[in-house]
Structure 1
């Protein structure tokens, strides 16, 4: 595993006779040209402790590459500023370090900054381009990139530090050399910035209910609390209707949680247990919010898939509850034989005769052993016509209005075609506010309120956990 050390060379990085050199460019060039004469009088009080720290404390066998970042502004620059350039210092340090450390630092590269090093915005953009692309910053099988910025220009130091953390992520380890003691101090700024950055990414994903992406971040990085990972898994699996998996996720979360986290997972346990009872109305509510999220996230093909499932669930639940018919699917015969057996009972004789004479799709009789949308629609039509059931009429009206969308669904990759779906196309097929109308209908016929999106509540739990310290989670 390779080690990279990047150092910004400042005016205090090279001493002569134990003192700083007042004019780095002019005096530095003189020293460089007469290197052997000055060699024994030179020292590098900031870089030396870093090298000793890496070899003695961190037990590095080799620093595979040392990059010395220096300034070398053009001749058009004001002499006062150009004379402070550290290009000569970098070449001197290259020779001093190579001679003293030899094979322990086999590759010493010099990286020049030719533009104004005091402009933070320019330096930020400069390193944003250079670090990913310049070969001097690239090492195969990199384990750690150490960044030492104690002596350079503040704008260069800041920009380098931020962009190195951004590019190398957890592999980046900033170091600080204390002027008073000479001790090397590893800085936590990298992990702190990365953690804050990840939190911001998570918040963006929460806006789009992208729990799978959040789960991947938390599983891979391992820097944030495990409670957040289990909460993401719970939300992801619940969104996929994998309620057993969601239950396991909240149980793991509860085992690892403390204080506020425990309260959150206790509520999540209650929520998932209620859903797992598979009460038809509870499942309808869950399916509605799943449909809502797909539309919100502009996943319109999946939205149509959920709508098709909701159509069937609404009709099926209505027929089961209002007519009391058994619609259990029989695996042995791969049919709804219990439905037909129910119809053959005397109390359903009128309905049975109605269904047998009902004209199905393509003017063909209904296949009663297969309880599909046409059969369910016919049952509701019976309630509307023969009993004057207003709820059945409302449901049939919605069912008729969404037919163009269902037909569109059949033409997509979910069914038999390759037709694309856009919001404009959905509005063309259904000009009204479909989600609002479904919500109103479910409230009217079954008193399903649909007042709070349960996934918004999960998002609020994330917000709580992201704001508090690890000991409280």
Structure 2
């Protein structure tokens, strides 16, 4: 691990024979002292008590400092500039005195050319300078941030940007004027944890469970409870498996963490597991699977993955038609409803004629066009208006289905964007998901379940909120 100490050098950080130098004389005094060699400087009894405490602390913790970065003001002439208080010469003197210390490696200077009292300027400086100054450091890094010297703006920027860029590998140190050793600031870890939690929430709300899982995996030492950590990781895995309709794997990944949970979280985990429970004898129902397609389509639409969304919409149409076929007593050859009963089809000359007319085969795996043909034939034969609303809704998706057939998931290479969805749907694309839910309600006679992925996110957010 490469150990780095970053210190702001302030105009009050140097002592000469135990006395402080007035800030407005920093450049003048510093420039004169910089002309001296190390032995002459030592005779002047020059000390940097705040920075030296940080150096000693880091060496005690790690036995070494691979790089010491000193940030000092060296302002260019301009409005508001106070070059007389610049500390660049103090930093140069400190470099001379520290470079020979045992356990201290490279000592580098970073020049602040703009106003060191300007918060925005200093944040911009740190965002640019820290990665640049540490570019030659071999990872992993341990970065100590001394936020005691320099101006308040310099310390604020170093603290904020250091935590943002180096996260849990950053450790802010504060030295008060009368203290004998630095204080580790826990606020840095708290800020990083809050940033991490916000990033997790962003991943969850984007249904990006792979990124959320990796974020949790890479930062497992930043949570008060390892049990919560394991539960959230399992929930992310559960979501990934459920999104791919790998229901058995999704169900299994919650078994081991249910006992780690308690109260409302435990009940939620049990519900998420049990809703997927099935067996070879009692498979998940067609209605359940169609609901899952709606949830899946909703996540794809939300993420702007319109090509994947169209493939889910296609599957939704087919699922609805299969659902209608069962309701209309269509005879299938197998329990999985993948093949029509050949004898049942051939017992109806009119239906056979429809297949010939549309040039479709009834002895292969049932497709969406085949289901559509059979359902429309039976509805026309019955003269029933029972499913008129359903068929009307499904018809509104036809142009979207045709668009899907022109893409790489079907037969061509047409790209898909929101504008093309709007053209094909002839309405605001935001109304597609509500229409899917409405269509399901017409078929199943009940409202579809709330989005399962939103339920997963709700449990995760509760865990984060209580951590």
Q: Normalising by structure 1, what TM-score?
A: 0.86
**Correspondent of 1:59 among 58, 62, 65:** 62
Alignment of 1:235 onto 2:239? yes
| Structure 1 CA distance for aligned equivalents of residues 33 and 366 of structure 2 | 93
Give the alignment's Cα RMSD to 1 decimal: 2.8
Moved more, 107-116 or 14-23: 14-23
Residue 130 of structure 1: how far off its partner (Å): 1.8
Residue 6 of structure 1: how far off its partner (Å): 1.0
**Correspondent of 1:421 among 416, 424, 449:** 416
**What residue number does 1:368 align with?**
363
Kindly indicate whether the alpha-carbon contact (under 8 Å) linking 1:285 and 1:448 is maintained by their aligned counterparts in 2: no
**What residue number does 1:313 align with?**
319
SS at match of 1:69: strand
**What residue number does 2:87 align with?**
86
**What residue number does 1:382 align with?**
377
Mapping of 1:22-41 within 5 angstroms?
22=22, 23-35=25-37, 36-40=39-43, 41=45
Kindly indicate whether the alpha-carbon contact (under 8 Å) linking 2:112 and 2:125 is maintained by their aligned counterparts in 1: no
Kindly indicate whether the alpha-carbon contact (under 8 Å) linking 2:5 and 2:58 is maintained by their aligned counterparts in 1: no
Kindly indicate whether the alpha-carbon contact (under 8 Å) linking 2:210 and 2:236 is maintained by their aligned counterparts in 1: yes
Q: Cα gap change, 1:150/1:365 in structure 2, threshold over 3 Å: closer, same or farther?
A: closer
Q: Cα gap change, 1:178/1:388 in structure 2, threshold over 3 Å: closer, same or farther?
A: same
Residue 326 of structure 1: how far off its partner (Å): 2.7
Residue 408 of structure 1: how far off its partner (Å): 1.3
**What residue number does 1:106 align with?**
105
Mapping of 1:154-173 within 5 angstroms?
154-173=152-171
> Structure 1, residues 290-326: CA drift from partner, whole Å, max 9, x if none?
2223223322111110111112111112212331523
Mapping of 1:315-334 within 5 angstroms?
315-323=321-329, 325-328=331-334
Residue 411 of structure 1: how far off its partner (Å): 1.0
Alignment of 1:14 onto 2:14? yes
Residue 462 of structure 1: how far off its partner (Å): 2.8
> Structure 1, residues 26-64: CA drift from partner, whole Å, max 9, x if none?
2222333244334131222112222222222x132x312
Moved more, 277-286 or 180-189: 180-189
Residue 139 of structure 1: how far off its partner (Å): 1.0
SS at match of 2:277: helix
Mapping of 1:250-265 within 5 angstroms?
250-265=254-269
**What residue number does 1:354 align with?**
350
**What residue number does 2:2 align with?**
2
| Structure 2 CA distance for aligned equivalents of residues 353 and 126 of structure 1 | 82
Residue 9 of structure 1: how far off its partner (Å): 1.0
| Structure 1 CA distance for aligned equivalents of residues 250 and 400 of structure 2 | 31
Residue 105 of structure 1: how far off its partner (Å): 1.7
Kindly indicate whether the alpha-carbon contact (under 8 Å) linking 2:27 and 2:89 is maintained by their aligned counterparts in 1: yes
Q: Normalising by structure 2, what TM-score?
A: 0.87
Residue 136 of structure 1: how far off its partner (Å): 5.2
Kindly indicate whether the alpha-carbon contact (under 8 Å) linking 1:4 and 1:142 is maintained by their aligned counterparts in 2: no
Residue 412 of structure 1: how far off its partner (Å): 0.4
Q: Cα gap change, 1:83/1:213 in structure 2, threshold over 3 Å: closer, same or farther?
A: same
- Structure 1 unmatched ranges of 5 or more: none
Q: Cα gap change, 1:440/1:258 in structure 2, threshold over 3 Å: closer, same or farther?
A: closer
Alignment of 1:293 onto 2:296? no
**Correspondent of 2:400 among 398, 405, 425:** 405
